[in-house]
Amino acid sequence: MKMVSWMNFKEELKDRVDHIEAILKEYLPKEEGWQKTVIAAMNYSVLAGGKRLRPMLMEETYRLFGGKGREIEPFMAAIEMIHTYSLVHDDLPAMDNDEYRRGRKTTHVVYGEAMAILAGDGLLNYAFETAMKSFAMEGDLEKKARALSVLAQKAGIYGMIGGQTADIEAEDLGDQVTAGHLMFIHAHKTSALIEAAMMTGAILAGASQEETAQIEKAAYEIGIAFQIQDDILDVTSTLEMLGKPIGSDAKNHKTTYVTLKGLEESRKEQQELSLHAIETIRSIGYSNDFLMELVTSLITREK
């Protein structure tokens, strides 16, 4: 019985990824004009694959609150563009200096460093150009403006960029990094975009402010649980499975959940967080079985 449901989940997951890929292709810019190279680098990075978790969480949260329109689609493309820009910049020699990502050579390795910087900038800007396309579609303008404001804030200095800043500074601190510092990093570098994804889905579907605040809390916990799994996989997985070399945290002298708390405690906290997130979403009173399975699957994911 359990097997059948797992198979259904895997099939449904594949359908959703295919649907998101189609949306991304629709919204990515055409490789033409004098900008052709930067656009090719942008498209290379986005189309390299990836789990498409953020647009998926966005759409599933939209559905949770009864959203049915297509106004969500430009936002789904936008959040994957923002996420991808962060990966392109994170892989640069000045940051993590990684050669592989999503099973392919990183953008700066293929297109050179200058073009990878521009491709990241291009993706971040184009994300907002894309999200704003929803303003010309059906649906409530005020909700779209609120969603856009959440997206902008969570990606910025009070969100993901703030987390990355604290992360870069933590590298020089070695084992002096405190649990508080690490939590700030995870909350901003990882959770902020998950919060943006789920909150924009909720807002666009018409969730109330209290409901959106509950979603923000659940998304925060999902983000931390997801990051703990990322830290665990960096120690326990393989290059073939992850599509990038393992041991990157150790290479960059990073304090992680695993170095701070050990594997067993990390797994325990991760499980508690994801169960609590599920309870929080359930307590709002709407149901979306796929979303619940998706959240559960994140802590057992292998890549």
Q: Which residues bind ligand GRG (CB under 6 A)?
A: 50-51, 53, 86-87, 89-90, 102, 160-161, 164, 189-190, 227, 230
To ligand GRG, the closest distance from the beta carbon of 8 in angstroms equals 22
To ligand GRG, the closest distance from the beta carbon of 34 in angstroms equals 26
Rg (Cα) of the chain, in Å, rounded? Answer: 19
Using the minimum distance from each CB to ligand GRG, give the nearer residue, 83 or 144: 83
User: Closest by alpha carbon to 245, among 98, 146, 131, 118?
Assistant: 98
To ligand GRG, the closest distance from the beta carbon of 292 in angstroms equals 19
Mode of pairing for the β-strands spanning 104-105 and 100-101: antiparallel
Contact at 8 Å (CB) between 248 and 182? no
Using the minimum distance from each CB to ligand GRG, give the nearer residue, 139 or 248: 248
What does the alpha-carbon distance between residue 88 and residue 278 come to, in Å, rounded to a whole number?
A: 31
User: Closest by alpha carbon to 13, among 55, 54, 56, 46?
Assistant: 56
To ligand GRG, the closest distance from the beta carbon of 240 in angstroms equals 15
Residue nearest to ligand GRG (CB): 50
To ligand GRG, the closest distance from the beta carbon of 97 in angstroms equals 12
Contact at 8 Å (CB) between 294 and 51? no
Using the minimum distance from each CB to ligand GRG, give the nearer residue, 29 or 50: 50
Using the minimum distance from each CB to ligand GRG, give the nearer residue, 51 or 276: 51
- Tell me the three state secondary structure of residue 96: coil
Using the minimum distance from each CB to ligand GRG, give the nearer residue, 107 or 190: 190
- Tell me the three state secondary structure of residue 105: strand
Using the minimum distance from each CB to ligand GRG, give the nearer residue, 161 or 183: 161
What does the alpha-carbon distance between residue 295 and residue 299 come to, in Å, rounded to a whole number?
A: 8
Write phi, then psi, for 59 (nearest 5 degrees): -65, -40
To ligand GRG, the closest distance from the beta carbon of 201 in angstroms equals 16
Using the minimum distance from each CB to ligand GRG, give the nearer residue, 81 or 215: 81
To ligand GRG, the closest distance from the beta carbon of 86 in angstroms equals 4
105 bridge partner residues: 100
What angle is formed at CA 274 by the lines to CA 78 and CA 188, rounded to 5 degrees? 45
Cα-Cα-Cα-Cα dihedral sign, residues 141, 220, 65, 13 = positive
